[in-house]
Amino acid sequence: MYSYISHLECSVCEKEFPHDQISSISECCAKVLFARYDLQKLKKEVDKNVYASRESNMWRFSELLPVTDPANVVTLGEGGTPLLRTTDLGKKLNLNNLYIKDEGLNPTGTFKARGIGAAVSKANELGVKGFTMPSAGNAAGAVAAYAARSGHPVKVYMPQDAPSANKKESLLTGAELNLVDGLISDAGRISSQVAKEENLFDLSTLKEPYRAEGKKTMALELAQQLGWKIPDVIVYPTGGGTGIIGMHKGFNELLELGWVTGKQPRFIAVQAEGCQPIVKAFNEGADSSEMWTNAATVADGLRVPGPFADYVILKILRETGGTALSVTDKEMVDAMYEISSDEGVVICPEGAATLVGLRQLLDKGLVSQDETVILLNTGSAYKYLELVSEK
């Protein structure tokens, strides 16, 4: 069987919904919906060792992805990114097992390709005819590319000061680009309104169930790349939180399948000083976050003042023994240079923020020398060349 998806489930009350019709948030609680799979059946029918022989992209894990007919998959080869053991950085920080998962090698240069690839493919399977997308930047570029690939139109809504690369890649791939005088949250409101009016499908973060499924494949790849082991710590630059939520879900499914043993990694959410709603809520012991006012950072992927799935992110950080940390823009840009020059990975500011976060963890004694630590590099420096000086 290509996919073992069985249904959708409300993240709050666990009410079940069918997966074979177009869905956004749960009707019962107006919260995040998660895709569920028949893991008992999968466990009986598939051996995890088949994955090594399949093509190296995220669709190698089709059994744990939502598309039921391979003919509906819209792909640009997303996923299958390298897990690089660090050389200089590991030595410098006295860590024996420090890795970078380099998502900068994805189509359109960021890991947004995974989530959007999954969501556009499932929407394609369900007969959606066109999309809207609010984005701080990189998601718009990815949607524009996948919409082009699927042959469907897309209208993207971006803050006016979104990076030039994101505007240009949207135009290049034929999206209708709308610049919004405001933040991602304002873009989100307009996007959902236009979707309603024009019968298009709104692909906002976690307001549809499948972007998290695409990002989940990072966990499946990490486990496979580590020899079917779960890492100890994942340091993740957190905006809307799809990556943390997806990876946590992926590790849970692997644990339930018995394909890995042990426990979830400690998830560390790193945010920008100028937009840190999750850090504030975590430190205050709150279950949800407050809208961050005047959100500002050069790391556009982290400029999400009111993450819709805040309650899921906070729960994961607490349950796994993780934490939430903030870093300054200057620290991020300095770390871009440090990682790029130490390791040769041309890293985006969001990815670079993980190194700054890791140093804070080490200062507090929260990571030990032999633990397996993953810095999740979510994108390429090529999308942020304006942050790199020519001298």
Q: Which residues sit at the interface with Zn ion, rule CB under 5 A? A: 10, 12-13, 15, 26, 28-29
241 binds, options Zn ion, ligand PLP, none, Cβ within 5 to 8 A by partner type:
ligand PLP
Nearer to ligand PLP, 113 or 148 (CB): 113
Q: How far is the CB of 387 from ligand PLP (least distance, A)?
A: 12
13 binds, among ligand PLP, Zn ion, none (CB under 5 to 8 A by kind): Zn ion
Closest distance of CB 291 from ligand PLP, Å: 16
Residue 292 corresponds to which amino acid? W
C-alpha–C-alpha distance, residues 307 and 206, integer Å: 9
Running DSSP on this structure, what letter comes out for residue 5?
Answer: E
Residue among 108, 138, 264, 320 that touches ligand PLP (CB under 6 A): 138
Tokens of 286: 């709150």
**39 within 8 A of 65, measured Cβ to Cβ:** no
CB of 123 to ligand PLP, least distance (A): 19
Closer to Zn ion by CB, 13 or 172: give it. 13
Binding letters toward ligand PLP, positions 101-120, x by CB under 6 A: ---------x-x--------
Nearer to ligand PLP, 348 or 358 (CB): 348
Closest CA to 41 of 5, 95, 76, 93: 5
Q: Are 112 and 348 in contact (CB under 8 A)?
A: no
Segment 194 to 253, residues that bind ligand PLP, using CB under 6 A: 205, 237-243
Q: What's the burial of 80, exposed, middle or buried (CB within 10 Å: 0-12/13-18/19+)?
A: middle
Task: Name the minimum Å distance from CB 246 to ligand PLP.
Answer: 8
Which partner in ligand PLP, Zn ion, none is near 301 (CB below 5 to 8 A by kind)?
A: ligand PLP
Residue 57's nearest CA partner among 220, 193, 181, 177 is 220
- Provide the 10 A C-beta neighbour count for residue 368: 12
State in angstroms the smallest separation of the CB of 184 from ligand PLP.
10
Q: Cβ of residue 310: shortest distance to Zn ion, in angstroms?
A: 17
Per-residue DSSP letter, 18 = -
- In this structure, what DSSP letter does residue 347 have? B
CB of 247 to ligand PLP, least distance (A): 9
Q: Which does 10 bind (CB under 5 to 8 A by kind): Zn ion, ligand PLP, none?
A: Zn ion
Which of 102, 237, 239, 233 lies closest to 184, judged by CA? 239
Task: Give just the sign of the alpha carbon dihedral 126, 239, 103, 108.
Answer: positive
Q: What is the 3-state secondary structure (H, E, C) of 299-331?
A: CHHHCCCCCCCHHHHHHHHHHCCCEEEEECHHH
What's the CA gap between 238 and 325, in Å, rounded? Answer: 10
Of 277, 301, 306, 322, the one binding ligand PLP by CB under 6 A: 301
Interaction pattern, residues 12-51, with ligand PLP; x per rule: CB under 6 A: ----------------------------------------
Q: How many residues does the chain have?
A: 391
Q: Does 357 engage in binding with ligand PLP (CB under 6 A)?
A: no
Q: How far is the CB of 204 from ligand PLP (least distance, A)?
A: 11
The binding site for ligand PLP (CB under 6 A) comprises 110, 112, 138, 205, 237-243, 301, 348, 350, 378-379
